[in-house]
Amino acid sequence: MNSPVDDKIEHPTAGIIIIGNEILSGKVEDSNSPYLCKELRFLGVEVKRMVTLPDEIEVIGRHVHEYSRDYTWVFTTGGVGPTHDDVTIEAVAHGFGAETEESPQMLEVLEGYYGERLNSAHRRMALIPSGAELMQLPSMRSPQLKYHNIFVFPGVPELV
């Protein structure tokens, strides 16, 4: 993980938000929060709080906004793919009253990954909050972005 830690911040803190009905139902085991906790501790960031949330825009938006206010950094995993329940990016925008816009850069990544198979569900992944920054990661095939002090990652462990 590249360090999000700003050397000027004396005691950086973090909140972790794990998103997915599949985790809450027990169908999928969360392996991202232990990984993030270990990496953040190594970087000198104290994880103060973690929560697992359902795929619900209002709930995610409220928590992301609260965590953004309370912690130096916020990390979310899950809910950024092409399925109907992947609502994290929309929820982050909603939590801040922001609009989403199509990112030409993300659309290019998706076109490169999906090629002829690119459909409207895949294209929806190119919608990001206005002002968000895409992170350039070698394995990028779904949105991975920074919005304010929030880092949004997919739920797939090898992409975190």
* CA nearest to 132, candidates 80, 56, 62: 80
Q: Compute the mean pLDDT over every residue in the chain, rounded to the nearest whole number.
A: 90
* DSSP H or E stretch at residue 52: strand 46-53
* CA nearest to 82, candidates 135, 118, 31: 118
Q: What strand order describes the sheet that includes 145-147?
A: 46-53, 13-19, 73-77, 150-153, 145-147, 133-134
CB 34 within 8 Å of CB 116: no
**55 vs 150: CA distance, rounded Å:** 18
CB 17 within 8 Å of CB 67: yes
pLDDT mean over 101-130? 92
Residue 155 is predicted with a pLDDT of: 81
As a CATH number, domain 13-159 is 3.40.980.10
Beta bridge partners of 152: 76, 145
Domains of the chain: which residue ranges?
Answer: 13-159
Model confidence over 5-59: pLDDT tens digits? 555 678 999 999 999 999 999 999 999 999 999 999 999 999 999 999 999 999 9
DSSP state for residue 54 in the 8-state scheme: -
